[in-house]
Amino acid sequence: MVVAVERGEGVAIVRIDNPPVNATSHAVREGLMAAVRAVEAEGVHAAILVCAGRTFVAGGDIAEFDRPPEPPLLPDLCDAIEASPVPWCAAMHGTVLGGGLELALACAWRVAAPGTRFGLPEVRLGLIPGAGGTQRLPRLVGLDRAARMIATGAMVGAAEFLAWGGIDALLDGKPETAARDWLAGRARPQVVSARSVAGADLAALGREVARKAQGEIAPGRALEVVGLAAERPFAEGLRREREVFLELKGGRQSRALRHAFFAERAVARPEAIAGARPRPVETVAIVGGGLMGSGIATACLAAGLSVVLLEREEAAASAASGRVGGLLDAMVGRGKATADDAAAARSRLVVASDYAAAAGADLAIEAVFEDLDVKREVFGRLAAALAPDAILATNTSYLDPARIAAGIAAPERVLGLHFFSPAHVMRLVEVVRPDGVAPEALATGFALARRLGKVPVLAGVCDGFIGNRILTAYRRQADYLLADGCLPHEVDAAMRGFGMPMGPYELQDMTGLGIAYASRRHRAPSRPTGERVVPIADRLYEAGRLGRSAGRGWYRYAEGSRTPERDEDVEAVVRAWSVEEGRARQAFAPDEIVARLLAVMVNEGALIVEEGIAETDAAVDVVEMLGYGFPRWRGGPMHWAEAEGIDRVADAMARVAGQSPGSWVLSRRLRR
Ligand code: COA
């Protein structure tokens, strides 16, 4: 029974038990509707709604959203609860989200255990609340607070929600007993939908939402509908809410965001580690205290692990310690940790130059300079200092971990853990699987990444693994577009128009042209003969245009400014190359720029799946969304291609290949 009704001491306890998160699936809605009637027949003076397991209802069942809604619908259920002659009380714990909060808003009272959190996160799925949330929440907590919660999807803690009037009481103890005691003798308050709400000026929030949206539509629509709460009768607001909800649910953006939700969870459980048990990890050794190493150390410390950070000599070690301290302080500044958490984290950090300090580590992550010999030496020293079965990971972004580990004992404990910079912020980790690695070692890498709050994606060994391999292809095609007629600002604007936070050239300026330069040099010896080479980027780098920090890269920057300005010198280099290559420069519309760059990303992603480097399309999508700023509301390149129509993408890839013959391997997926 997903919904059970028990009677006790004048009240009815209505219990939902629908693991994992008590979503309002069809069976739950049916059970609740029957419970409304059953409670009325019982003649009790109140019904207390509780949930079994780890949380109160955490929302609608997202897995049902692809199908037409089946009655009883949640809005009707909320109306039935609100209108019932028996008053209901929601007694909550865990994360009360979406439809869960909407059920609670329809109840006469709301009480919760300390630590409960509340939210209407529908915009994160490209939706707005669809069961009265946009009209009832403002009537309960005020228009401006409700508007912010609904337009951003942010959760609010119990104490704050209590202060706003969102809940009536915070109660310790078993929710149903605490609620029953608290209810004794209480008069039924006015139903929420009948309350009035004052207007508020939402213009500033509207501007903030518009600025962050970058093409995403749900937050703006949410604001528009919430605003009705103060302007129109409840029933009219509810009708409009339902219309917009259904329109968004059937749209591309919500489909993409739902795909992203499930993809992120699915990739964390790849076939390759099915049944493998992760080893316990409490102490992590990290070699290299640069930007990457200190970011990884910070992530580990913030997750409660102990860290031994190894540097070459004392001065470097103390600089690394300062960097980690600074990152922890910044987390406190951003409200991501308390000062006490940060102090405790710092006390778990040991910084040393002698590998003996890391002897007790369960796992090591090497994050030194990207050079095979340097990394080999580090691995040799780790193997000598740590336990013979300690797991050894490399943060390399393109080398084969097996080559780095060649010669050490028990190589089956070696894997890649490719973090993204800044590593304490970015949620992606590519877990790289060299030949012969033990499933247990991989499973340990996955468990560690999840403990750090990150999303691990399994990647086979190839140049650049999943993400950087796609990035290399994307940049190569962008350079072909330059040679054939585009200018950097046109390519960047087109990709921003698609929803990328930055175009490829602004991004290179931000990270520096040196990394891409080194990567091209590394790739040059294995470059297929006949592949078109466009040396514009090399020429800029060699002319000292190193990127934004140097004041000039693909653009020029005024002293101390981050704003890219077009630079005629760069454009002259671009045009000169077209002449040298003998190409007539042609115009490309923004749509065509996007079509070609996306086709290349999809083609490379498809090759990666066909070669078994990624297990699924979803893995490619998650890497692009979490590691490279691919707009989440487009669902990643592979999902986008399906939604766009694979034939259209194949057509675009044919134009790409036709323009640069001999330069692209076509995936089976896009071959005509
Ligand atoms: N519908 C269907 N399945 C859901 C779900 C929902 N609303 N919310 C969570 N799940 C599933 C997850 O897919 C996952 O399934 P899996 O174990 O098969 O992968 C499982 O519940 C646990 O979720 P997970 O996110 O891994 O657990 P968590 O403890 O980290 O987070 C929540 C729990 C509820 C905070 C989080 O799942 C969440 O934010 N869910 C979405 C809530 C939402 O958007 N509700 C509004 C819907 S309109």
Helix ranges (DSSP H) in 399-438: 401-404
More confident residue, 516 or 54: 54
User: Is it the case that residue 482 has pLDDT exceeding 90?
Assistant: yes
Average of pLDDT values for 30-35?
A: 98
Location of structure tokens 């065509």: 592
* pTM exceeds 0.85 for this model: yes
Are residues 234 and 226 in contact, defined by beta-carbon separation less than 8 angstroms? no
| 62 ligand 1 Cβ < 6 A | yes
Return the pLDDT at 647.
97
Q: Position of tokens 């990150």?
A: 454
140 near 161, Cβ under 8 Å? no
Q: Please tell me if the CB atom of residue 58 comes closer than 6 angstroms to any atom of ligand 1.
A: yes
User: How far is the C-alpha of 195 from the C-alpha of 127, rounded, in Å?
Assistant: 25
pLDDT of residue 279: 96
Report percent pLDDT > 90 for the chain: 93
Alpha-carbon distance of 175 to 158, in angstroms, equals 14
| Torsion sign, CA atoms 29, 34, 35, 39 | positive
Quote the pLDDT of residue 544: 97
| Bond from prior residue into 422 cis (ω within 30 degrees of 0) | yes
Atom of ligand 1 nearest to the CA of 124: 44
Q: Which atom of ligand 1 is nearest to the CA of 129?
A: 48
Q: Sign (positive/negative) of CA torsion 40, 42, 48, 52?
A: negative
Is 23 near ligand 1, meaning CB less than 6 Å away? yes
Task: Compute the average pLDDT of residues 353-371.
Answer: 95
Q: Cα 258 to chain center, whole Å?
A: 12
Mean pLDDT of the chain: 96
Give the span between the Cα atoms of 43 and 348, in whole angstroms.
59
Amino acid at 46: A
First to last CA, the chain: 52
* Among 123, 118, 122, 171, residue whose Cα is nearest residue 140: 118
- Rounded to an integer, the average pLDDT of 256-261 is 98
Q: Under 8 Å CB-to-CB from 195, ≥6 apart: which residues?
A: 139, 140
**3-class DSSP state for residue 37?**
helix
3-state SS assignment for residue 428: strand
Ligand 1 contact via 265 beta carbon (within 6 Å): yes
Average pLDDT over residues 151-160: 97
H helices of 512-613, where? 513-523, 536-542, 568-581, 590-610
DSSP 547: B
pLDDT at 9 over 90: no
DSSP state of 118: E
Q: Which of 16, 21, 93, 257 to mutate to test the pocket of ligand 1 (most atoms within 8 A of CB)?
A: 21
Q: Which residue's CA is the nearest one to ligand 1's atom 45?
A: 59
